[in-house]
Amino acid sequence: MRRDRLFVTGLIGSAITALCCFTPALAVLLGAVGLSAWVGWLDIVLLPVLAAFLALTFYALIRGRRARART
């Protein structure tokens, strides 16, 4: 069950980060709240976070396959 939660966390985090990375959703949201100065830092933060969530997803996927192969 823990492996499934790790995989789901990776998938959800990847989806949310990709949504904010590849669409102007976060830029519009930050502009609406008056924090548009942070938009310049989004690429510096969001791309490594996206890479980390994708790595987490693949790690959980490989770990789950190995565990299923043992049983």
How far is it, in rounded angstroms, from Cα 67 to Cα 25?
38
19 touches 25 (CB < 8 A): yes
Q: Which domain holds residue 54?
A: 2-70
User: Following DSSP, what letter does each residue of the chain receive, concatenated?
Assistant: -HHHHHHHHHHHHHHHHHHHHHSTHHHHHHHHHT-GGGGGGHHHHHHHHHHHHHHHHHHHHHHHHHHHHH-
Can you tell me the mean pLDDT for 3-8? 83
How far is it, in rounded angstroms, from Cα 21 to Cα 16?
9
pTM: 0.75
What integer pLDDT is reported at residue 41 of this predicted model? 80
Total structural domains within the chain: 1
Give 12-61 pLDDT, tens digit per residue.
999 988 887 777 877 888 888 988 887 878 778 888 998 999 999 999 98
